[in-house]
């Protein structure tokens, strides 16, 4: 097989890159080790930045998003038992949109298959070869076990943190920046109407909690727990009791409970691998960087990456101009490190470290009170949360 761009991974990064390339008339092949059913049901992020929403709309991938997505014009910082609203639209002119990552994936898969473009699920033994040549190769076994090989001009590694793409780069070439946090999120998906119209980020003496949603019928909630926490120790009743305790307010906020459809514990880390390029291999999304979920940046960063990569590939294919390919890593990293800082800042402000003493907690409350009361501080928070315009970076 021969194609212009071989894409490893059918998450938001890989699928969006394939979509952008198709619109530019550039052929690609997408390989995914999981089944289509698994990929479309994988519960991940749910907040889309304004620039992400605009890009999906502009490229014809926003029809269902506009019908079913939930625009949010603000969110609450809850501490001292009181809500302090951050008016996103009032401060920036733009909302965010709650629309699950798996829904974006479904939309992009449907567009790809409707166009008759190659999207191969259930592949195995993926390996990358000749990355520093002009004709890199990808080998794999298909769903039927048959050995396959693809030669291309460019390989896009969009296969996540544990994928083969980054592991195919010599460790001596990469510089790794990493921070593990001393807490995790216990996340639940519940079949119940949300208890509030907007997201609630809660600082509480028992630990952080987040009230979010996926639809008018499905609520997404999170609790801060130790990284080694065993989900088996958390019955549904215990989860609802703890959420009710942490989300309580002075004016009697009521948390609506319901059947829990899914629950799990996710450790939190910050991670960046530099550079995002090795020869003709380009990393995008979680293959290159991880952020704590507090700032809702992961999927948005992945889509910002491939927006730049698609433009660079188009210049390379149409005009034999490699300048954007050469600057891809540096251009992406500007946004990546801004998002890393914002996500670290929100995480540090809202979570209780196991070794936090009363001094640390007073500092956190001082930062929260200042952020809630200061117009410039709220504006900075809102601007970063809504998403910096692409041209700004």
Catalytic, 293? Answer yes
**Among the options 72, 94, 278, 351, which is catalytic?**
72
Catalytic, 182? Answer no
User: Tell me, what's the pLDDT at 4?
Assistant: 97
Catalytic, 334? Answer no
**Among the options 201, 203, 222, 328, which is catalytic?**
201
Q: Is 348 exposed, middle or buried (0-12, 13-18, 19+ CB in 10 A)?
A: middle
180: helix, coil or strand? strand
First CA to last CA across the chain, in angstroms?
37
Catalytic, 320? Answer no
User: Tell me, what's the pLDDT at 393?
Assistant: 46
**Among the options 50, 94, 211, 297, which is catalytic?**
297
User: Tell me, what's the pLDDT at 392?
Assistant: 55
For the stretch 309-348, pLDDT in tens is 999 999 999 999 999 999 999 999 999 999 999 999 999 9
User: Tell me, what's the pLDDT at 302?
Assistant: 97
Q: Is 366 exposed, middle or buried (0-12, 13-18, 19+ CB in 10 A)?
A: exposed
Q: Is 127 exposed, middle or buried (0-12, 13-18, 19+ CB in 10 A)?
A: exposed
**Among the options 51, 293, 328, 351, which is catalytic?**
293
Catalytic, 201? Answer yes
The neighbour count for residue 288, using CB atoms within 10 Å, is 29
- Class for the domain spanning 181-268+353-386: alpha beta
User: Percent of the chain at pLDDT above 90?
Assistant: 96
User: Tell me, what's the pLDDT at 44?
Assistant: 76
Distance, in Å, from the CA atom of 154 to the CA atom of 28, rounded to the nearest integer, reads 9
Can 5-46+100-174+275-348 and 181-268+353-386 be said to share one CATH topology? no
Domain ranges in the chain are 5-46+100-174+275-348, 181-268+353-386
Contact 88, 212 (CB under 8 A): no
Neighbour order of strands in the sheet with 70-72: 47-48, 96-98, 70-72
Tens-binned pLDDT, residue by residue, of the chain (393 aa)? 899 999 999 999 999 999 999 999 999 999 999 999 999 988 777 899 999 999 999 999 999 999 999 999 999 999 999 999 999 999 999 999 999 999 999 999 999 999 999 999 999 999 999 999 999 999 999 999 999 999 999 999 999 999 999 999 999 999 999 999 999 999 999 999 999 999 999 999 999 999 999 999 999 999 999 999 999 999 999 999 999 999 999 999 999 999 999 999 999 999 999 999 999 999 999 999 999 999 999 999 999 999 999 999 999 999 999 999 999 999 999 999 999 999 999 999 999 999 999 999 999 999 999 999 999 999 999 999 999 999 754
User: Tell me, what's the pLDDT at 42?
Assistant: 82
- Class for the domain spanning 5-46+100-174+275-348: alpha beta
213 membership: H or E segment, kind and range: strand 209-213
């Amino acid at each position: 097989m021969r194609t212009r761009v071989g894409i490893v991974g059918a998450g938001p990064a890989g699928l969006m890159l394939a979509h952008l390339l198709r619109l530019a008339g550039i052929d690609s092949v997408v390989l995914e080790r999981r089944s289509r059913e698994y990929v479309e049901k994988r519960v991940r992020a749910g907040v889309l930045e304004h620039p992400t929403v605009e890009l999906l709309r502009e490229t014809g991938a926003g029809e269902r998003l506009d019908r079913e997505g939930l625009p949010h014009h603000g969110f609450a910082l809850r501490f001292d038992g009181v809500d302090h609203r951050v008016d996103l639209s009032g401060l920036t002119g733009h909302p965010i949109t709650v629309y699950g990552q798996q829904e974006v994936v479904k939309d992009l898969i449907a567009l790809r298959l409707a166009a008759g473009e190659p999207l191969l699920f259930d592949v195995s033994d993926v390996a990358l070869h000749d990355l520093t040549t002009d004709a890199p190769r990808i080998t794999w076994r298909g769903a039927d076990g048959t050995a396959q090989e693809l030669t291309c001009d460019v390989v896009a590694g969009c296969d996540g943190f544990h994928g083969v793409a980054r592991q195919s780069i010599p460790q001596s070439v990469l510089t790794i920046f990493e921070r593990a946090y001393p807490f995790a999120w216990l996340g639940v998906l519940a079949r119940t109407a949300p208890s509030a119209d907007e997201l609630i980020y809660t600082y509480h003496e028992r630990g952080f909690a987040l009230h979010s949603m996926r639809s008018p019928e499905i609520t997404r909630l999170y609790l801060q727990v130790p990284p080694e926490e065993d989900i088996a120790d958390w019955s549904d009743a215990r989860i609802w009791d703890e959420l009710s305790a942490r989300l309580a307010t002075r004016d009697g906020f009521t948390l609506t409970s319901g059947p829990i459809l899914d629950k799990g514990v996710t450790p939190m880390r910050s991670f960046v691998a530099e550079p995002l390029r090795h020869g003709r291999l380009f990393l995008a999304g979680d293959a290159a960087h991880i952020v704590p979920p507090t700032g809702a940046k992961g999927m948005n960063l992945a889509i910002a990456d491939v927006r730049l990569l698609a433009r660079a590939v188009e210049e390379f294919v149409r005009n034999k101009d490699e300048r954007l390919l050469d600057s891809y890593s540096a251009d992406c990293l500007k946004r990546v490190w801004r998002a890393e800082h914002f996500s670290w800042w929100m995480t540090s402000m809202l979570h209780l470290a196991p070794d936090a003493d009363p001094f640390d907690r007073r500092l956190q409350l001082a930062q929260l009170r200042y952020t809630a009361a200061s117009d410039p501080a709220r504006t900075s928070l809102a601007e970063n949360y809504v998403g910096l315009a692409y041209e700004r970076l």
